[in-house]
Amino acid sequence: MPNAFNFQVSPFDCLTPDEQQRVRAGVDIAYFREGEIVLDAAVAPTHLFVVIKGFVQQFEPDGGEPVAGFGPDDTFDGRSLVAGKVSGRFVAAEELVAYQLSREVVNDLIACNAAFGALLFSDLSKKLGAIAGRSSQHELQSLALARVDAIPVRVPHFVDADCDVLSVVRLFQAERTSNVLVRDTDAEGMPRLGIFTVTALQRAVLHGTPLERLAVREVTSFGLITVNAGDPVGDALTVMVRHKVHRVAVLADDHSGRVVGVLEALDLFSFLSNHSYLINREIAEAQDLAALGQACGHVTRLIALLHRGGTRVGQIATLVQALNAKLFERTWQLIAPPELIANSCLFVMGSEGRGEQLLKTDQDNGLLLRDGYSPPADLDAICARFTRSLIEFGYPECPGGIMVSNPHWRAGQREFAERARGWLLQPDGERLMALAIFLDAHAVCGDAGLLAGVRASLFALTTDNDAMLARFASAVDAFADDGGWLHRLLTRGEAPRGGFDIKKQGLFPLVHGVRSLALRAQLGETSTAGRLDALVAVGQIDRALATDVLESLYFFMGLRLKAGLAELDAGHAASGKVDPGRLSSLERDLLKDTLDVVKRFRRMLHQRFHLDAV
């Protein structure tokens, strides 16, 4: 066996030195002429193949179009080897030289290395789980693998609500702590837990009652914010940002509600060694747009840091949504007068509304006004200034004009509801796009009830209206294999100049399909992950398919983020395109799996909405 075997590619990159030696001792080299069948459905497989030179196409057992392609460093067909039967016909599309590893050696490797087995033949979710579980010091320090209980949380100190504030201060000094948890009961006699901090001492002093006679309940913040010990650190960070708190109580994982510690923001950030909380504070304390612009620039650097540190894409997106919401809110607060803010709802849409935006993309935002409220005479100028500010922050102008600076995207609640109903009842191309984007709307400032009212009026129209829902859902086929790029990928054809648009081929059909199912079920969730959970709960989608759809979505988002960061590093704007020539063998393998999920999901939608009859 030559020493040239590449152990840097999946699934062999997870083998130990001893396991690599087993491969070297048991591998041979095979040769196939162009057009020769390598594996056939009628033959029991005996070897795993790793391509050295050439290209192999996989077809369904009955022929037809190719369903997969394998080039240098790609491995095939582990699933057939484990199942004992070939899943299709594998043909050498050109002269092929490949390593072949016997079934016995492969079975030995699977028995002693679970990650190898998962990457070789498991379904998509298990493959991605195996990738996340690979042990390396770099990844163990990332948000993807770290749990809250990996951080040394502070020991909780408890006092009764009747305890006087002066005694609590003495406890602060004795225990060298800056907070205590306060046990109390509410008006109905139910137990409740609050927190009293050093910061609250100011309220206690201003209360006017001598501290030795002032019960701590009078100056305690109840409605304690909590996380679970087993939650990802990234989720705890998002909770702090969203609720604007510096500490959270940590609950035991046994569902007892028992508090096991207090997680301080400074401790969390020392663990993460990044500046995400500082960005949130920068935004909150910004007194002008220039200061907000500086904070906005830090967000992109944070995304790159988290991604290169191994953080899961879903966690990055959730954190980015929380930070962007604070950024948009503070920008609007600096521009709009308080009366306008109180009588309106500023909302974002599209990927930003779903919480699935990573790098800055085109603006998608709108403004709802309370019916009966007379907006200021300079509303046009206010909204135009907001749009210009976001452009200066790096959020490009929307080519379709879906921004508050466009009068079409700001209106009173009743007028906007009528406009949205028109999108649903007369769905041509533009109206369909507007409706899809609006269904993802998420309030960021003002009265969120205005947005909820418009959404409720839309749901009322979808009841027992299958034809309308089918027209809406049919957009999942809008970019089906646009330009035949999937065929070229599987047949080793020339890739389109500029790369593939993963948004059209991967992200859009998954997002819009889930959006359509959620509209049919009248679900108020706006994120794809939240919609999938809700759809599973009401029996509208199988849990296994929902998991595959979500994992595929995150994989596509990850490919797009990686490509975008590379473009930014090279001094170019992020295009959203992915160059398949730069994908690793594992990424190409997962791309095939995730595109198969897209095909399966589309078939399900065709059946559910009777799209073939539309």
Q: In angstroms, rounded to a whole number, what is the distance separating the alpha carbons of residues 80 and 521?
A: 39
Domain count, the chain: 4
Q: CB neighbours of 86 closer than 8 A, spacing ≥ 6? A: 39, 40, 41, 43, 44, 45, 77, 80
pLDDT at residue 23, rounded to an integer:
93
CATH code of 186's domain: 3.10.580.10
The answer on 571 and 500 residing in a single domain is: yes
pLDDT at residue 137, rounded to an integer:
36
CATH code of 336's domain: 3.30.460
Look at strands 442-446 and 500-501 and give their pairing.
Answer: unpaired
pLDDT at residue 491, rounded to an integer:
53
Do 432 and 614 meet the contact criterion of CB atoms below 8 Å apart? no
DSSP assignment letter at 475: G
Helix (H) / strand (E) element for 568: namely helix 543-569
* Structure tokens belonging to residue 394: 């790096």
The answer on 200 and 251 residing in a single domain is: yes
The answer on 494 and 361 residing in a single domain is: no
The answer on 102 and 85 residing in a single domain is: yes
Question: Does residue 588 fall inside a structural domain?
Answer: yes
Last residue within a domain, chosen from 105, 122, 139: 122
The answer on 483 and 379 residing in a single domain is: no
Look at strands 365-369 and 410-412 and give their pairing.
Answer: parallel
The answer on 354 and 419 residing in a single domain is: yes
* Structure tokens belonging to residue 521: 């079920």
Question: Does residue 598 fall inside a structural domain?
Answer: yes
Range of the domain at 484: 464-614
DSSP assignment letter at 145: T
Q: In angstroms, rounded to a whole number, what is the distance separating the alpha carbons of residues 28 and 445?
A: 64
Q: Which residue has the tokens 């369903």?
A: 67
CATH code of 507's domain: 1.20.120
The answer on 488 and 441 residing in a single domain is: no
pLDDT at residue 139, rounded to an integer:
38
Question: Does residue 501 fall inside a structural domain?
Answer: yes
The residue ranges of the chain whose pLDDT is under 70 are: 1-3, 63-65, 118, 121-146, 269-278, 309-310, 427, 480-499, 585, 613-614
Last residue within a domain, chosen from 104, 122, 140: 122
Last residue within a domain, chosen from 401, 429, 462: 462
Do 398 and 364 meet the contact criterion of CB atoms below 8 Å apart? yes
Question: Does residue 127 fall inside a structural domain?
Answer: no
The answer on 471 and 419 residing in a single domain is: no
User: Helices then strands (H, E): number in the chain?
Assistant: 26, 21
Question: Does residue 141 fall inside a structural domain?
Answer: no
Question: Does residue 344 fall inside a structural domain?
Answer: yes
Q: CB neighbours of 546 closer than 8 A, spacing ≥ 6? A: 532, 533, 535, 536
The answer on 163 and 234 residing in a single domain is: yes
pLDDT at residue 305, rounded to an integer:
73
The answer on 520 and 445 residing in a single domain is: no
The answer on 514 and 609 residing in a single domain is: yes
CATH code of 85's domain: 2.60.120.10
Question: Does residue 132 fall inside a structural domain?
Answer: no
Question: Does residue 18 fall inside a structural domain?
Answer: yes
Across 427-440, b (16+ Cβ under 10 Å) vs e yields beeebbbbbbbbbb
pLDDT at residue 217, rounded to an integer:
94
pLDDT at residue 73, rounded to an integer:
84
The answer on 403 and 363 residing in a single domain is: yes
pLDDT at residue 496, rounded to an integer:
53
